Structure formats: C-alpha cells, structure tokens
Amino acid sequence: MSTTKSSIYSIAQLGHAALRARAVEVEDILSDECQQLINTMMLAVSEAGGVGIAAPQIHHSKRIFIMCSKPNTRYPQAPLMAPTAIINPEILHYSDEKVKDWEGCLSVPSMRGLVPRYKQITVRYLDQQGHVRQETLTGFIARIFQHELDHLNGLTFIDQLESMQDLISESEWYRQFADSN
C-alpha cells in the first residue's frame, strides 16, 4: 500500500474484510516499513481525533495499535497519555471485575455501545524500539487496550455487546449521556 495522503487517512469501515481478519505478528519492528506504518497510524489517529487505532483499521494486517488517550469531544473525561505504539500485544492477566461503559470506534463512526470490559489487565507488548514492556492498566486505558486488541483479532466493539439494546446512535448518545461523561 502506498502512503499517499489519501491512503493514510482511509479508515476501514464496519463491513470491510480488513476488520474481520486476525492480524499477523510483526517480525521486524525496526524495519523502515514497520516504522513508517507506526508513523502513519500516529498521524491517522491524530487526524481522526481518536484515542486509539489498530493497523487493520488502516488496511494493514499487522499486530500493531496506537493508544493515545486525551480529553476530546468524543471522550471528554479521557486521561492524558503520550501516543504509544503497542506491538504484538498480549493480555497476561484479567481482573475478576468487568465494567460496562460506552465505546465508539473510528470504524463504526455513528454508533456507541455499552461494552463490558475488564477493569484491570496486565499486559505485555513490544514498544516502537522493540523493547518488551509489561504493565498493569486500569480504567479507561485498560478499555482502550482491550478495544484495540479486539481489532487485531478481527472483532469490533459490537461483537462484545451483551445485547443489541446496548447499541445507540452517536447523536442519541450525545443527547442522552454526553453531559454525564
């Protein structure tokens, strides 16, 4: 895939085959190709105003996602974190407790879902320099990690809903819930 501006910001939408395939492991993190993909993803998520994006969302079957939580119109209470490349991620431990909260997705732009996620997870991944990182994540950051990892496994937040009653249009979500978040 070329990295012209038109392809950098082309985010796969629900129904696209790229969102349903399991992404493949990254073997050479320090390659120019991988580093360029990470930079492209950083630009794409920033331009789209997201708090995370996975490589399959921009049509690349690689086990990479970016987490970049920050308060914005979609998530006004989001904590601030530096954009972080997460490569070949895995969850080592899940807390017993799950919490349901509202999620949206750049690939499902007009919907929100009330999604149950583990409140706390311990994760391991490689960073952009190829170093192994292990950490425990909680709350919204743990939610982002789980959401993006789903993308690497061919899932969207809609697949995690307990009921279709938990799906709502984004405009209705703003009308009903935006002031409380």
**Structure tokens belonging to residue 53:** 């994006």
Other Cβ atoms within 10 Å of 180 Cβ, number:
6
Q: What is the pLDDT of residues 79-128, one digit of tens each?
A: 999 999 999 999 999 999 999 999 999 999 999 999 999 999 999 999 99
For residues 23-38, average pLDDT: 98
Please indicate if the annotation marks 68 as binding a ligand. Answer: no
One of 27, 33, 135, 148 is an active-site residue; which one?
148
Q: What is the pLDDT of residues 35-72, one digit of tens each?
A: 999 999 999 999 998 999 999 999 999 999 999 999 98
Say how far apart CA 155 and CA 176 lie, in whole Å: 27
Q: Judge whether 103 counts as a catalytic residue.
A: no
The beta strand positions in the chain, using DSSP E, are 52-54, 64-67, 84-94, 98-105, 108-118, 120-126, 132-138, 167-169
Please indicate if the annotation marks 147 as binding a ligand. Answer: yes
Domain boundaries, the chain: 5-180
Domain 5-180 matching CATH 1.20.20.10: the answer reads no
Q: Among residues of the chain, what percentage have pLDDT more than 70?
A: 93
